[in-house]
Amino acid sequence: MAFKSSGINPTKFDVSQLKFYLFLVPFAIFMALPIIFIFNHAFKPLDELYAFPPRFFVINPTLENFQNLSQLAEQSGIPLSRYVFNSLFVTVIVVFLSLALSTLAGYALSKKQFRGKKMLLEINNTALMFVPIAVMIPRFLTVTTIGIEDTYFAHILPLVAMPVGLFLIKQFIDQIPDSLIEAAVIDGATDFKIYWKVILPLIKPAIATAAILAFQLVWNDMETSNLYTTSENMRTLAFFMNTLAAQTNVVVGQGMAAVASMIMFIPNLILFVILQSKVMNTMAHSGLK
């Protein structure tokens, strides 16, 4: 009797999955603690933040921390909506451009034969290994030399080329059988058509994963605001939230820091849930049958 695998990505619960839950749940509780903590901490009144013995869950939830944060935000003279707009605008554009550029380049690097291909890959993968802080000052010099500081370009352009994203996408394109592309060529498809109609649909899981990563890198990025902008109204939400939490005293600050990190965290969470449902690629192998 051959082994019958209950399979990857089952559609419903099966008793055989029980052992996995037994294994996963303790891990999940430990890993989720800090998130639960952030959500609870944000709603704690001052006396609970410093209660002894410390409590994990909030008992008398309050919006005090939110009020403190919004009061402080009002004092800064620039409406919060401006930071929100900056962040959303920059993030959407970078994620979109970065995915477009990485998939285009990934296709060429994976499926095309041309001179310098190996070297290009090697340079890309070496670049992602270089520790980011060492490039901070040289990058700053580049941005000022080009003359884009204090514009939206300074937020967008330095982040669009993401070596990690390209590496990830290229790895997934490697898995697409060459025969599929050859078949498309025989059918008379142009290069761009192959990219659009064959490659992109087949690497949806990679695109979803790269999008999660790109969003999170840009959304949380403080470097561009910190170094490449000088006027307050060009800064992003991540930068603003961070300075707010840092500039106040420690006692009240802890509650506000919790609120700030909760606000920054929620968009990541929503996007993750939406995109993670796209990682199952139902077409991957059907094209070959």
Q: Which of residues 138-197 bind other proteins (CB under 8 A)?
A: 138-139, 141-142, 146, 157-161, 163-164, 166-168, 171-172, 174-175, 185, 191, 195
Site stretch for other proteins (CB under 8 A), options 22-30, 57-65, 66-74, 77-85: 22-30
Q: Which residues of 212-242 are buried (b: 16+ CB within 10 A; e: fewer)?
A: bbbbbbbbbbebbbbbbbeeeebbbbbbbbb
Candidate list 77, 81, 133, 249; residue touching other proteins; CB under 8 A: 133
Q: Is 132 in the site for other proteins (CB under 8 A)?
A: yes
Name the minimum Å distance from CB 127 to other proteins.
5
Q: Cα(154)–Cα(229) distance, rounded to whole angstroms?
A: 8
What would the DSSP string read from start to end of 8-47? SS-SS--GGGHHHHHHHHHHHHHHHHHHHHHHHHHT--HH
Tokens 């920059």 sit at which residue? 90
Closest to other proteins by CB, 2 vs 231, is 2
Q: Is 3 in the site for other proteins (CB under 8 A)?
A: yes
281 φ/ψ sector (left φ>0, alpha ψ -120 to 50, else beta): beta
Contact positions with other proteins (CB under 8 A) in 258-277: 258, 260-261, 264-265, 268-269, 272-273, 276-277
How many residues sit close enough to other proteins to count as binding (CB under 8 A)? 113
* Spatial contact of 212 and 275, defined as CB atoms under 8 Å apart: yes
* Spatial contact of 207 and 127, defined as CB atoms under 8 Å apart: no
Name the minimum Å distance from CB 42 to other proteins.
10
Candidate list 48, 238, 239, 240; residue touching other proteins; CB under 8 A: 238
Name the minimum Å distance from CB 22 to other proteins.
11
Q: Is 38 in the site for other proteins (CB under 8 A)?
A: yes
Report angle CA 257, 261, 266 to the nearest 5 degrees: 150
Closest to other proteins by CB, 206 vs 234, is 206
Q: Cα(39)–Cα(259) distance, rounded to whole angstroms?
A: 8
Contact positions with other proteins (CB under 8 A) in 57-86: none
Closest to other proteins by CB, 67 vs 126, is 126
Q: Is 251 in the site for other proteins (CB under 8 A)?
A: no
Q: What share of the chain is helix, strand, coil (3-state, %, to 5)?
A: 75, 0, 25
3-state SS class at 123: helix
Closest to other proteins by CB, 234 vs 245, is 245
Site stretch for other proteins (CB under 8 A), options 57-65, 67-75, 77-85, 213-221: 213-221
